[in-house]
Structure 1
Amino acid sequence: MGILKQFASYLYIKKDKKEPGEKKDIYLKLMHGMNRISILVFLIAMLIVLVRWLIKAI
């Protein structure tokens, strides 16, 4: 269950608490945005592969 909570907080589904003194700069925000996009594209691709596999099995 811990992995799902990490994904949810990373994708902004569940807000994670900020640590005191944490500093975010523009490059860190851009990096997190790119990682978020790559995770979503990967999940969409896995869904497409699963659907194609299910269609072939029928």
Structure 2
Amino acid sequence: METINLKLTVEETNKILQSLGSLPYLQVHQLIHKLQYQAGEQLNDRLATESETEQAVAEAKK
């Protein structure tokens, strides 16, 4: 299956998830899970990078 990449804000992603939540569960649960998983991975990666940057700055100040 061909894939696409979208760039959305967290707010936009949440709005999509809320909209999907109003549809029948059996029709959308796999899509909701996939969106949440991919968003979580990206946010965790960003948080880890920010943490590493903060640690490097703190070490440089010593």
TM range (shorter): 0.5 to 0.7
Q: 1:39 aligns with which of 35, 38, 42?
A: 42
Moved over 4 A (4+): none
Task: Give 5+ residue unaligned stretches, structure 2.
Answer: 1-6, 17-26
The structural deviation recorded for 1:57 is 1.1
TM-score (norm 1): 0.60
| Residue ranges of structure 1 left out of the alignment (5+ in a row) | 1-5, 17-23
Q: Compare the two structures and name the one with the higher helix fraction.
A: 2
Number of positions where the alignment pairs a residue of Structure 1 with one of Structure 2: 44
1:50 is displaced (CA, Å) by 0.4
The alignment yields a C-alpha RMSD, in angstroms, of 2.1
Query: Among the aligned pairs, what percent are the same residue?
Result: 12
